[in-house]
Amino acid sequence: MSKDPDNPETIERTFIAFKPDAVQRGIVGEILHRLERAGLKISALKMIHASDELLEEHYSEHKGKDFFQNLVDFMGGGPVIAGVLEGVKAVSVVRKLVGETEPYEAAPGTIRGDYSHVSVEHANRKGKAVKNVIHASGNLEEARKEIDLWFDEDEIFTYERTDDDHIR
Ligand code: UDP
Ligand code: MG
């Protein structure tokens, strides 16, 4: 199964991960529903308790920052549900649905805005990672790196959604 979508001009694949807070709060289904409802196709989905090595590579751009170790500890503190979503300009569409990094700033209607609210300042004062429910790749390059890192080729699927004609 190819890692590249059928039409690389507009159809993209992006990586998401429901963070341990989402899994532990039991809100994964609700949030996945929002993404599916927007017409994004689930190309891959699995639960995984990520190792420090995987998380350090996943968040390598943040290595050396104050919050790095808290972030790795948080993300490795329980299982996550990792996935690949496919759709037209899926990377930016999913970021838009996810909302801003800081829950306090994330707009209502976005996943982070609707399911979390804390400020970065509060998390820092508490010495905690910012628990913002879901990860989504920031750009196409990051998406390719993250899909490669988290998934084997044979874990990613190509199929037709019956509503494909209407949604893309
Ligand atoms: N994070 C944190 N403290 C900060 C900034 C970020 O704990 O001061 C966490 C937060 O969970 C965030 C993740 O680190 O989602 C990655 O940060 P990034 O800036 O890449 O945000 P994202 O791409 O997730 O929106
Ligand atoms: Mg990021």
- At 32-47, the pLDDT tens digits run 999 999 999 999 999 9
Rg of the chain over Cα atoms, rounded to whole angstroms, equals 16
- At 24-83, the pLDDT tens digits run 999 999 999 999 999 999 999 999 999 999 999 999 999 999 999 999 999 999 999 999
Q: Note whether residue 163 is domain-resident.
A: no
Give the chain's domain count. 1
Beta bridge partners of 47: 81
Report the nearest-CA residue for atom 6 of ligand 1.
130
Percent of the chain with pLDDT over 70: 95
Residue 87 above 70 pLDDT?
yes
What domain range is 60 assigned to?
16-151
Atom of ligand 1 nearest to the CA of 101: 25
* Choice among 58, 62, 122, 135 that is catalytic: 135
- At 3-17, the pLDDT tens digits run 555 555 689 999 999
Q: Note whether residue 159 is domain-resident.
A: no
Residue 142 class from Cβ within 10 Å (0-12 exposed, 13-18 middle, 19+ buried)?
middle
Q: Note whether residue 61 is domain-resident.
A: yes
Confidence of residue 88 (pLDDT cuts 50, 70, 90): very high
- Helix axes of 90-98 and 28-37: crossing angle, nearest 10 degrees: 130
- Is 120 touching ligand 1 by the criterion CB < 6 Å? yes
Give the residue ranges of the annotated binding site.
19, 67, 95, 101, 112, 132
Distance of CA 113 to the CA centre of its chain: 15
- Is 129 touching ligand 1 by the criterion CB < 6 Å? yes
Q: Report every protein residue that has its C-beta within 5 angstroms of ion ligand 2.
A: 138
Tell me if residue 135 is catalytic: yes
Q: Note whether residue 8 is domain-resident.
A: no
Beta carbons of 16 and 134 less than 8 angstroms apart: yes
CB contact burial 38-52 (16+ within 10 A = b; e otherwise):
ebbbbbbbeeeebee
Beta carbons of 133 and 112 less than 8 angstroms apart: yes
Beta bridge partners of 80: 48
Report the nearest-CA residue for atom 17 of ligand 1.
101
Q: Note whether residue 146 is domain-resident.
A: yes
| pTM for the full predicted model | 0.95
How far is 85 from 83, CA to CA, in rounded Å?
Answer: 7
Residue 1 above 50 pLDDT?
no
What pLDDT does 6 receive? 57
CATH of the domain at 62: 3.30.70.141
Sheet holding 134-136, edge to edge: 41-48, 80-88, 11-18, 134-136
